[in-house]
Amino acid sequence: MAGQGSSTAAMEEDKLRIEMLGAGQEVGRSCCFISFKGFNIVCDAGVHPAYTGLSALPFLDQVDWSTVDALLITHFHLDHAAALTYIMEKTNFRDGKGKVYMTHPTKAIYRFLMSDFVRISNAGSDRMLFDESEMLASWRQIEAVDYHQEVVVSGGLRFTPYHAGHVLGACMFLIDIAGLRVLYTGDYSREEDRHLVQAEVPPVRPDVLICESTYGTQSLEPRLEKEMRFTALIHSIIKRGGRVLLPVFVLGRAQELLLLLDEYWSAHPELHTVPIYYASSLARKCMSIYQTYIHTMNQHIRTRFNRRDNPFVFKHVSNLRSLDKFEDKGPCVMMASPGFMQSGISRELLERWAPDKRNGVIVSGYSVEGTMARDILSDPDEIIAMNGQRIPRRLSVDYISFSAHVDYTQNSHFIDEVRAKHVVLVHGELKNMSGLRAALQSRYHGRAEEVHLYMPRNCDPLFIPFRPDRTAKVIGALAEKPAAEGKAINGLLVAKDFSYTVLAPEDLAEFTGLGTSVIVQRQRVALNVGWEVVRWHLEGMYGTVQEGVDVQGVKTLRVMNVVDIKQPRTHELVLEWVSSVSNDMVADSAVALLLGIDSCPATVKMTMHDHACAHASPKPDERREQHFAFVESLSALLEAHFGQVEMIEVGGMTDAESEARPLLSNTPANTDAGARASPAPPATGEQHTPDAPTEAPAEAPAEAPLAHDAWATDGSAAPASPPRSPTASPPHSPAPAVSPLEALCNRIYGPLRAAIKVELDGEPVVIELEHLRLVSMMRTTSQSLSDSFHLIPPSSTMLFQGEHSEVELDEKIRTIDSDSS
């Protein structure tokens, strides 16, 4: 079950979540929540122009604002930015680590617009969302960014702003979330006008496109045509003695219309007596901002400015801060805010001029449903004043869209160029959005690459399963030569925060600040085969093996061009290689092969050949010196363990003479020692009488004949010197007194040779030097010491130390052969 839970969590993380907190199947209070791989981003935070108070805000309760990593504002319009202060000051956004980002022009204009918004808000003091101090406190926390600046928010989350047209400072954000790229357009325009550039197509293909659908399938007339129709309509209203009301927002389309009117007035001297008013308390401040950010505008404006011709210093336009000083006499053109005519100067002038049929109002931008700008387009007979009074409407109403939103033609072409697999439609009324979706589905039907279209409602989360492709960026020296298609690139792959970069090893320090290290591994192997056998096995396993010497002249075999096998000395091999995953595998296989060479049947077969077993004998002098050195070492060892050591000679008698010698004398001392002499056998071979004074066992020991056979087989039965004559004794006379050592020596036959005598528990022990074996210990024996004695407790390192009272003779050794007795 735990495995299933982790798998489910992983699947949830691989789903992109998009939830519209506003502008879902509506226009206004734009607010888009995006979540993927644990990262949370919010794009835009506006209010709805048709509502007031809390009802104008997005659905903020749907999100835990303390978990938001970044809040991105595309432009300064109220329906995209006016709720920002409320979120930053009145929610738990302040408890998190999230930051707010917008472009430099947007931040500069935002401050003045929000001050004006607080001042003219008609919600009443009891329903105000925030005050001036809260707005300024939040404004200071906003971080301004430049176009095309990649901003890294945290590991795995980054974004880049691109030009969006629409208004000064407007941008679209390309957001990279753990390798997933989302392009959020906000409001954008693909038509270059008199002062703004058109919206850019990002150079990187996004996976998801979130774009506006304001005009649905409508196609707007070309700019030059609508400019001519606009100026002609104004000219006709002035000729009939009327006043022209142009409701606009203080910034945005207002500057475009002012440029157009100033140019038209300059070309028509007959209009010089007709004043053009720009009625806004922020007009002068905002115009200074436009002059500051001329470098963000199009080439036409920059060229005029470089010629010291400031296009925003108008010759025929006057600023009007309030209506108190306005002399309402004769024809004029009044450009007043706000554009939706819900309140402010534009609403006051509409109510004043509505009863006069000579006057006219021209709606030049998109009107949100529920606003006065949208209601008046239906040509009502009367309008409702702000105080509730009904006012007859007789002025003319015209609509010429200078809205900087894309129409169907621009929007569909932009979607084609972006080539996103998933397109999410926002910022549009349900009718327009549905029409656009149907048109796009028909447009993309039958294409090889399927395009998924979505139009989510507010608070209805959209989940898109997604596993982003891992794309690596090639930089540094590797990027100097474009790689051919299908050709591999050899370099280092650097992964950081879900982004991947390929670069040459020498560029690693410059671009990443990292360093490289080369690990050389060495393995020594002991091997008792020849160099040719090693090479034969390696060639059998790996095919071609390169052979040569290293810089020190050591013989070397190179396996698969990665592992060097060297022979620094006989019967020793050294494997050397640069550590890597593949090289380590080759080295492991080579070590396994080398360790099995000794036991390999092929090795045995290869090394078998006929040869002569002739060995050079050492010289007599060298042999003598070696013998003396060995005897000295052996004597020192025996003396250290058993005490006094004596060099003696043994042997030099035949078997018959050895049998005739007495073992031990029949003395009390010898009797006390537990050994008695046996009478010498008669020369005639007669048996002992029953009353013979002896305690010898009935059976004779079998060791003497075995020892005789051993010496006879040796080829050394011939005595090296004449045997000593045994002393004959009368058959029934007692044997002469013989010491234990002499008794032992009498039992050693064969050629005369050197031996060493030591004592063990008071008894003599003789070790002959020719074959280094114990030849006599109380009794001559050809058996090994371990077979002749039982040690209780079992044999240990204390065998030859101290008295051995628990050493018992084997029953076969303790009995004496009666025949030899």
Average pLDDT value for residue range 316-341? 87
What percent of the chain shows pLDDT beyond 70?
A: 79
Of residues 688, 695, 646, 693, the one with CA closest to residue 673 = 695
Residues 379 and 253 in one domain: yes
744-764: string of b/e by CB count within 10 Å (b at 16+)? Answer: bbbbbbbbbbebbbbebeeeb
Which is more confident, 647 or 73? Answer: 73
Q: Can you list the alpha helix ranges (DSSP code H) found in 23-83? A: 78-81
pLDDT tier for residue 361 given thresholds of 50, 70 and 90: very high
Residues 368 and 250 in one domain: yes
Last residue of a domain, one of 399, 433, 461: 399
> Which range, of 166-180, 690-704, 786-800, averages the lowest pLDDT?
690-704
pLDDT tier for residue 478 given thresholds of 50, 70 and 90: confident
> Which range, of 136-145, 270-279, 593-602, averages the lowest pLDDT?
593-602
In a domain, 233, yes or no: yes
Average pLDDT, the chain: 81
pLDDT tier for residue 92 given thresholds of 50, 70 and 90: very high
Residues 483 and 595 in one domain: no
The span from the CA of 694 to the CA of 729, in Å, is 16
Number of domains in the chain: 4
Residues 477 and 544 in one domain: no
- pTM, full prediction: 0.60
pLDDT tier for residue 601 given thresholds of 50, 70 and 90: confident
In a domain, 635, yes or no: yes
Evaluate if residue 810 carries a pLDDT over 60.
no
Residues 241 and 372 in one domain: yes
In a domain, 353, yes or no: yes
pLDDT tier for residue 556 given thresholds of 50, 70 and 90: very high
In a domain, 420, yes or no: no
pLDDT tier for residue 575 given thresholds of 50, 70 and 90: very high
Residues 238 and 307 in one domain: yes
| Beta strands at 143-145 and 546-549: parallel, antiparallel or unpaired | unpaired
Last residue of a domain, one of 399, 426, 452: 399
Residues 507 and 537 in one domain: no
Residues 392 and 255 in one domain: yes
pLDDT at position 52 is 85
Last residue of a domain, one of 374, 399, 424: 399
Two tokens, residue 21: 């907190």
Q: Is 620 left (phi over 0), alpha (psi -120 to 50) or beta?
A: alpha
pLDDT at position 280 is 77
Q: Check: CB of residue 395 under 8 Å from CB of residue 359.
A: yes
Average pLDDT value for residue range 486-496? 85
> Which stretch, 299-313, 415-429, 650-664, has highest mean pLDDT?
415-429
Evaluate if residue 690 carries a pLDDT over 50.
no
- Cβ of 268: how many Cβ atoms within 10 Å? 11
Evaluate if residue 159 carries a pLDDT over 50.
yes
Strand order in the sheet with 276-279: 317-320, 276-279, 332-336, 243-247, 360-363, 396-399
Instruction: Give the model confidence (pLDDT) of 202-253 as tens digits.
Output: 999 999 999 999 999 999 888 889 999 999 999 999 999 999 999 988 777 7
Which of 405, 422, 427, 537 is catalytic? The answer is 405
pLDDT at position 613 is 59
pLDDT tier for residue 708 given thresholds of 50, 70 and 90: very low
> Which range, of 270-284, 402-416, 717-731, 769-783, averages the lowest pLDDT?
717-731
Evaluate if residue 707 carries a pLDDT over 50.
no
User: Which phi and psi angles does 510 have, rounded to 5°?
Assistant: -70, -40
Q: What is the CA radius of gyration of the chain?
A: 57
pLDDT tier for residue 611 given thresholds of 50, 70 and 90: low
The span from the CA of 809 to the CA of 328, in Å, is 147
Residues 386 and 488 in one domain: no
Alpha-carbon separation of residue 519 from 89, 182, 512, 552, 579 (angstroms): 55, 42, 21, 21, 5
Question: Is 790 an annotated catalytic residue?
Answer: no
What percent of the chain shows pLDDT beyond 90?
A: 44
In a domain, 8, yes or no: no
> Which range, of 78-82, 272-276, 409-413, 515-519, averages the lowest pLDDT?
515-519
The span from the CA of 17 to the CA of 250, in Å, is 36
Residues 743 and 638 in one domain: yes
> Which range, of 314-318, 443-447, 811-815, averages the lowest pLDDT?
811-815
pLDDT at position 658 is 53
Domain ranges, residue 370: 223-399
User: Which phi and psi angles does 98 have, rounded to 5°?
Assistant: -70, 150
Residue type, 340: F
In a domain, 293, yes or no: yes
Q: Check: CB of residue 399 under 8 Å from CB of residue 218.
A: no
Residues 338 and 359 in one domain: yes
In a domain, 43, yes or no: no
Strand order in the sheet with 753-760: 646-650, 753-760, 763-768, 773-777, 779-780
In a domain, 203, yes or no: no
User: Which phi and psi angles does 696 have, rounded to 5°?
Assistant: -70, 145
Which is more confident, 206 or 619? Answer: 206
Q: Check: CB of residue 135 under 8 Å from CB of residue 85.
A: yes
Which is more confident, 559 or 615? Answer: 559
pLDDT at position 245 is 95
pLDDT at position 803 is 44
Residues 252 and 315 in one domain: yes
Peptide bond into 722 cis (omega under 30): no
Average pLDDT value for residue range 395-404? 90
Average pLDDT value for residue range 651-656? 68
Average pLDDT value for residue range 427-456? 93
Evaluate if residue 709 carries a pLDDT over 70.
no
pLDDT tier for residue 141 given thresholds of 50, 70 and 90: very high
Average pLDDT value for residue range 35-52? 93
Instruction: Give the model confidence (pLDDT) of 511-555 as tens digits.
Output: 888 877 889 999 999 988 888 889 989 998 998 899 999 888 899
pLDDT at position 745 is 78
